[in-house]
Structure 1
Amino acid sequence: MKVSMLAAGIALLCVGQANACTTILVGNQATNDGSFIIARNEDSSATNPKHMVIHPAVAQQTGVFKSHDNDFTWPLPHSALRYTAIHDDNTQDQSMGEAGFNSAGVGMSATETIYNGAQALKYDPYVVKTGITEDSIQTVVLPYIHSAREGVELLGHIIEQKGAGEGFGVAFIDDHSIWYLETGSGHQWMATRLPADTYFISANQGRLQQYNPQDKHNYLASPTLIAFAEKHGLYQADKGPFNFHQAYSEDTANDVTYNYPRVWALQHQFNPTLTTQVTDGKQFPVFLQPAHKISVADVEKALQNHYQGTPHDPYANNNPQEPWRPVSVFRAQESHVLQVRPKLPRAIGDVEYVAFGMPSLSVYLPYYAGMTHYLPGYDKGTGNASPDSVPWQYRVLQTLVMQDYNAYAPDVQRAYQAFQQQTATRQHAMEQAYLKAYKTEPKKATQIIQKFEDKTMTDALALTHKLTWQVLTKMTHNTDMKYHFEGA
């Protein structure tokens, strides 16, 4: 697309805190269709296009995985499952996989950047040079696990053996449960099974609190989690039950504007009658039952939140210095929603909804586990804008819109919303056709999925190109009016 050259020249280089994401988990009794949902915005750099890749199963695998970002290594098991990933552009080393499903029906999202407490890190600091970090987690975990719980156990084992190079939260999903793991320090961690009738939101802060070491069904942790906290004065048993957040996390002045508003806004979206205030971050509920059952569309809407209709909307109010950090930021690289519907065949029951770039100016497309390939360009793109990269084609439109958000955003958002609604109707028809064919005509069933995917990806790109030229036309007219220099 020729307009990419223009976008490269005017791109907004939004520099900020790396990997500052927002995570949403929804249990199957809290959704409108009985599905499990995990979701996250990946925020870092607007000029880092993500690649969507399907990795085939590998047998007789040998060698060692080596991190792209530090000296972390991990032996590669003999066999690896097929899995999907959303990578950075250095896919030759399978680095920085953010989210995906494997062929066993297990999905994961990695990572939510969090910050552990200074006292905990004083006694057990991050293993920065050789510990596991975000760029390695999906690649060394997802291809080798057969349940969400097993994912927690493997990642926890790696943290204990090699250490964590940074603070993070990681979500796992399968057709039985959702698990969420948070680091506590360099070698301490805990994880909990999401209560089925609740949802959970995290915004760059450790959020887990309750831990019951006797309840192995719902909790997992490093074996010395409580003993370490007691030894170093992070927890005193005579002052009440162990609280993981109080022992291993922290609340700082920055949280009041950077983290609390996001959790507060989304909890109030799902529970409008909540009486909490933004400054009540230390008392925010960890798990909540929603006022109404939550859909995938509701989660997508939450990931697009930027305090619309309030004085804190930085885009409508043209205020890049807005202190409240929104959920949807321009430097978002992608946004994903992983859904598991246990009652359906895995090929259509596991769906990954992905929007490239800034969620509030993008479109969520469904990618089914049964698809066989993405369109050309899904695995292309570097730090320089280029027309052969699908992620950059979405970013071009977003960059143009951000030059005058109020003038251009409404038309783009209406068009994308209509497309998502049309796609949902087509999804239902495709799934019904698949269910009729998959038992007796498996090849035809796979073709049904792929035909749907090819059309959806193609039509979304065509719409994006159309919107890009519409916005560019308006920009051209506005520039003409600004510098018209009529004579008479």
Structure 2
Amino acid sequence: MKNMKKITFLASAITAAFTAVVALPASACTTILVGNQATTDGSYIIARNEDYQATNAKHFVFHPAEKMQKSDFHGNANNFTYPAAKDALQYTSMSDFDTHNKSMGEVGFNSAGVGMSATETIYNGAKALKADPYVTKTGIGEDAIENVILPRIHSAKEGVELLGKIIETQGAAEGFGVAFVDNTGIWYLESGSGHQWMAEKIPADKYFVSANQGRLSTYLPNNPNYMASPTLVSFAEQHGLYKAEAGKPFNFHAAYSQDTPNDVTYNYPRVWTLQHMYTQGLTTKIDQGTTFPVFLKPTRKLSVADVEQGLRNHYQGTSHDPYATQNPKETYRPISVFRTQESHVLQVRPNLPTAIGDVAYISYGMSALGVYIPYYQGMTEVPHALTIGTDKADSASANWAFRKLQTLAMTNWKVFSPIVQTAYHKFEVQTASKQRELEKHYLKIYKRQPKKAQALINEFEKTTVADALALTDQLTNTLFTKMTYTTDMTYHFEGA
């Protein structure tokens, strides 16, 4: 709510930048990464909307530590395999209902305090892929990345190194960007082709936004803030993807990524909107994505709520809002779409014990009509409703409780969305207050009474999820009541 003036200010600029309709890809995500000197509380933040299909239920999965994993990893989407892990770390994931909770993990923290978000779908350049195609049958893809990497790593940098090694040896099955975070910072890796990749550590005082397009640019070898495949530059030179210019660093985006007409309406508006929301005074044009800065300082420091607001954006207050205008063929693809499966914000606060310092805020379904619930890294018991659900509506899973309400709200956006959004905003504010109380209590006892401290976290999660579901049920009944009254008045046939 507090950024509504900023959103309104953007309205005329977005409307003026209207461009032609183009074909849209089937799936997509939006990523926001924020360094600890750019946040209000000194935390590191990585966040993303996972967009694919509204009926595809997500399960919150707790994976216990294993001395030796029971079997090798076998991909769900292709024939990628990876040896079973020794001393596999405990971790959480948000998995698709039909992967037996073993793949398509998407997001989570492990017991070493490392978080990851996998993946931002990107599209590498045609020329780069002609020289080094994706290894579609046996390479690593989105469905495998978290479940293979997260149980094995003890730092964000180690995550980059392991994923990079897999890309070099087994290949990438598709284009992707992956974010890693720990208490020392954030790393972001992008694929360049079937066997090439680059990663960069996010500057502590800046933020980064990606929307289905390779965004990393400058690569500086022998710099501790960069990592890449060993032949990244030489391969590009050998295949004519890049020509060195005196005094200029290697440009990863120019060599390995793409800028197509599709990006102008599908990707550029999302990045442009978030950058102009967080940083005042930018002069970039919405249809000129090649001019967008890779990293930016926010005008004021960002909070978890600011990032959540960014993930909820749908060009509200402008003519490009497809929900307010009831225009499903709007050419600007919004950040928040109905087919979002889950939206997440991972926060790492290095000044607190990992169990409460690392928090995953997760919203099931469409972020603009969803509620972000905090899940602490120290939780060991997952409320049952979060662990069930299929592609058929039910009356027991959290996934479908939230999705049913969102579906109802979409039938009359102008009337129903404010009801849902106001109630969920109040719930999030109240939950934040309860978090402060929990953390205060935890810090008093966790050293002397670790089991009791652990129980505090589990009880908080159980109660918070139950309260969120109760509120959602109440809101669903409220909307049904209004719809019933409207239907009655439409077909009342009252006699004289």
Alignment partner, residue 25 of structure 1: 33
- CA distance 1:87–1:16, shift in 2 (3 Å): farther
Give secondary structure in 2 for the equivalent of 1:110: strand
Give secondary structure in 2 for the equivalent of 1:377: helix
Distance, in Å, in 1 between the alignment partners of 2:68 and 2:214 is 39
Alignment partner, residue 464 of structure 2: 456
Task: Please say if residues 188 and 224 of structure 1, whose CA atoms lie closer than 8 Å, have aligned partners that are also in contact.
Answer: yes
Task: Please say if residues 27 and 36 of structure 1, whose CA atoms lie closer than 8 Å, have aligned partners that are also in contact.
Answer: yes
Give the share of equivalent positions with the same residue, in percent.
63
Task: Please say if residues 62 and 78 of structure 1, whose CA atoms lie closer than 8 Å, have aligned partners that are also in contact.
Answer: no
By how many angstroms is 1:62 displaced?
5.0
By how many angstroms is 1:17 displaced?
3.3
Give secondary structure in 1 for the equivalent of 2:387: coil
Alignment partner, residue 177 of structure 1: 185
Alignment partner, residue 11 of structure 1: none
1:306-325 alignment runs, 5 A limit: 306-325=314-333
Alignment partner, residue 313 of structure 2: 305
Q: Which amino acid aligns with 2:402?
A: Y
Alignment partner, residue 228 of structure 1: 235
Q: Which amino acid aligns with 2:244?
A: A
Normalised by the size of structure 1, how large is the TM-score?
Answer: 0.95
Which sits farther off after the overlay, 475-484 or 259-268? 475-484
Task: Please say if residues 76 and 99 of structure 2, whose CA atoms lie closer than 8 Å, have aligned partners that are also in contact.
Answer: no
Cα RMSD of the aligned pairs, angstroms, is 1.2
Which sits farther off after the overlay, 468-477 or 237-246? 237-246
Task: Please say if residues 18 and 43 of structure 1, whose CA atoms lie closer than 8 Å, have aligned partners that are also in contact.
Answer: no
After superposing on structure 2, the runs of 4+ consecutive aligned residues of structure 1 that deviate more than 4 Å are none
By how many angstroms is 1:93 displaced?
5.6
Distance, in Å, in 1 between the alignment partners of 2:230 and 2:268 is 31
Task: Please say if residues 46 and 330 of structure 1, whose CA atoms lie closer than 8 Å, have aligned partners that are also in contact.
Answer: yes
Distance, in Å, in 2 between the alignment partners of 1:146 and 1:395 is 35
Give secondary structure in 2 for the equivalent of 1:334: strand
Distance, in Å, in 1 between the alignment partners of 2:447 and 2:26 is 46
Q: 1:145 aligns with which of 141, 153, 170?
A: 153
Normalised by the size of structure 2, how large is the TM-score?
Answer: 0.94
By how many angstroms is 1:424 displaced?
0.6
Distance, in Å, in 2 between the alignment partners of 1:244 and 1:232 is 14
By how many angstroms is 1:16 displaced?
6.8
By how many angstroms is 1:435 displaced?
0.4
Q: 1:473 aligns with which of 481, 485, 489?
A: 481
Alignment partner, residue 362 of structure 1: 370
Q: 2:59 aligns with which of 26, 51, 59?
A: 51
Distance, in Å, in 2 between the alignment partners of 1:457 and 1:41 is 20
1:244 matched to 2:252? The reply is yes
By how many angstroms is 1:242 displaced?
1.3
Give secondary structure in 2 for the equivalent of 1:146: coil
Task: Please say if residues 95 and 101 of structure 2, whose CA atoms lie closer than 8 Å, have aligned partners that are also in contact.
Answer: no
Give secondary structure in 2 for the equivalent of 1:282: helix
Q: 2:388 aligns with which of 359, 377, 380?
A: 380
By how many angstroms is 1:218 displaced?
0.3
Q: 1:286 aligns with which of 290, 294, 298?
A: 294
Alignment partner, residue 256 of structure 1: 264
Task: Please say if residues 16 and 44 of structure 1, whose CA atoms lie closer than 8 Å, have aligned partners that are also in contact.
Answer: no
Give secondary structure in 2 for the equivalent of 1:318: coil
By how many angstroms is 1:366 displaced?
0.3
1:43-442 alignment runs, 5 A limit: 43-61=51-69, 63-92=71-100, 94-215=102-223, 217-238=224-245, 240-442=248-450
After superposition, give the CA deviation of every residue in 1:224-255 in whole Å (9 maximum; x if it has no partner): 00000000111111364310000000101011
Residues paired across the two proteins, number: 473
By how many angstroms is 1:454 displaced?
1.3
Alignment partner, residue 4 of structure 1: none
Which sits farther off after the overlay, 181-190 or 274-283? 274-283
Give secondary structure in 2 for the equivalent of 1:382: coil
Task: Please say if residues 386 and 399 of structure 2, whose CA atoms lie closer than 8 Å, have aligned partners that are also in contact.
Answer: yes
- CA distance 1:471–1:62, shift in 2 (3 Å): closer
Distance, in Å, in 2 between the alignment partners of 1:86 and 1:19 is 17
Task: Please say if residues 114 and 167 of structure 1, whose CA atoms lie closer than 8 Å, have aligned partners that are also in contact.
Answer: yes
After superposition, give the CA deviation of every residue in 1:248-267 in whole Å (9 maximum; x if it has no partner): 00101011110000001100
By how many angstroms is 1:63 displaced?
3.3
Q: Which amino acid aligns with 1:189?
A: W
By how many angstroms is 1:29 displaced?
0.6
After superposition, give the CA deviation of every residue in 1:114-136 in whole Å (9 maximum; x if it has no partner): 00000000010001111110000
By how many angstroms is 1:91 displaced?
4.3
Task: Please say if residues 17 and 44 of structure 1, whose CA atoms lie closer than 8 Å, have aligned partners that are also in contact.
Answer: no
Task: Please say if residues 193 and 218 of structure 1, whose CA atoms lie closer than 8 Å, have aligned partners that are also in contact.
Answer: yes
After superposition, give the CA deviation of every residue in 1:9-32 in whole Å (9 maximum; x if it has no partner): xxxxxx973440000000001000
Q: Which amino acid aligns with 1:428?
A: R
Distance, in Å, in 2 between the alignment partners of 1:396 and 1:317 is 22
Task: Please say if residues 136 and 174 of structure 2, whose CA atoms lie closer than 8 Å, have aligned partners that are also in contact.
Answer: yes
Give secondary structure in 2 for the equivalent of 1:378: helix
Task: Please say if residues 67 and 73 of structure 1, whose CA atoms lie closer than 8 Å, have aligned partners that are also in contact.
Answer: yes
Task: Please say if residues 53 and 87 of structure 1, whose CA atoms lie closer than 8 Å, have aligned partners that are also in contact.
Answer: yes
Distance, in Å, in 1 between the alignment partners of 2:27 and 2:93 is 17
Q: Which amino acid aligns with 1:220?
A: M
By how many angstroms is 1:272 displaced?
2.5
